[in-house]
Amino acid sequence: MDPNLFTGKTYIVTGGAAGIGLGIVRQLSNYGATVYSLDMVKTPISDSEIISHPNVHYLIVDVRDDQACSAAVQQIISSTHNGAIDGLVNNAGICPAEGELPDHELYRRVIDTNFGGAFNMGLAVLPVMRRHGNGGAVVNVGSTSCLSGKNRLPLYASSKHALLGLTRSWALDWAKDRIRVNCVAPGATDTAMARGPLRAVQGPKFGMDKTDDELLECVAQLIPMKRFGTPDDVANAVNFLLSDLASYITGQVITVAGGSS
């Protein structure tokens, strides 16, 4: 894509300090965008290039808190040259080890983060996009779990199903304002979050005596392309959907899973 694809545009990425979110922030900034990374931590732990990038700004925000989301968006629009926001990537999410019957405390954490966070950010950002009248794009980062169930992760799968429903509904509601809303559904992607529940989810299938690396290899062999995805694989799809290259695409889900579904 054109290295100046997003020059002069402003984007918000939630969960932007690690994993897939960090990959999205990196690519957007490399394509010339001004990027606001919202996360529970201020900056990435191990990416000095992005930390020092002049077009990347960090805000500590818990997306479960609707007032914090609204305050962050107000801070962002007051910092931009025209008060406009061109795109939102709802990437913040958690995937703890749940088991077959997770408790109510875990229910609230997962649903409020994975689904509620996207809703809170949309509530704050979509009216700003409408007010400026320049259209815009929202990309919700789901999962292949938004298309099927996931053993021992019932809350995660449910939250991602809900996120897909929100995507498709917002796409219909905001099309008249030229605001496109799509979903990217990553499959197995090698991030710290994906490794968290690895033993609880895959151990019973492949053997609890296996190391994490051995479990990862077992999972990879089930993927048609025989490898895990990377944050950049997902970021490529997200940035396509944010760009004008996808100007007639809305309400869709793109699976980034190496042939798995």
Domains and CATH numbers, the chain: 10-256 (3.40.50.720)
Give the tens place of pLDDT for each residue, 180-232.
999 999 988 877 766 766 667 677 777 787 887 777 788 788 889 888 889 99
pLDDT of residue 41: 85
- Residues 27 and 33: their CA atoms lie apart, in Å, by 9
pLDDT > 70? residue 46: no
- 171 Cβ partners below 8 Å, 6+ apart? 180, 181, 182, 250, 251, 252
Residue 157: C-alpha distances to residues 53, 146, 164, 234 (Å): 35, 6, 11, 19
Residue range 20-33: mean pLDDT, rounded: 95
Residue 48 pLDDT > 60: no
pLDDT of 141 strictly over 80: yes
Q: What is the CA radius of gyration of the chain?
A: 18
Percentage of residues of the chain with pLDDT beyond 70: 93
The pLDDT of residue 192 is: 73
Measure the CA–CA gap between 122 and 117, rounded to whole angstroms.
Answer: 9
Tokens of 9: 């545009």
Longest dimension (CA), the chain: 57
Res 235: pLDDT: 97
Two tokens, residue 11: 């984007």
The strand ranges marked E within 31-154 are 34-39, 56-60, 87-90, 136-141
Please confirm, yes or no, whether 248 is among the known catalytic residues.
no
Work out the mean pLDDT of the chain and round it to a whole number. Answer: 91
Residue 182, exposed/middle/buried by CB under 10 A (0-12, 13-18, 19+)? buried
Q: Yes or no: say if 113 and 94 are a contact pair by the CB < 8 Å rule.
A: yes
State the catalytic residue, choosing from 11, 36, 58, 156: 156
Q: In this structure, how many other beta carbons lie within 10 angstroms of the beta carbon of residue 119?
A: 18
DSSP-derived letter for residue 166 is H
Across the beta sheet with 136-141, the strand order is: 56-60, 34-39, 10-14, 87-90, 136-141, 179-186, 253-256
For residues 180 and 137, what is the distance between their CA atoms, to the nearest angstrom? 5
pLDDT at 118: 98
Which amino acid type is present at position 182?
A: N
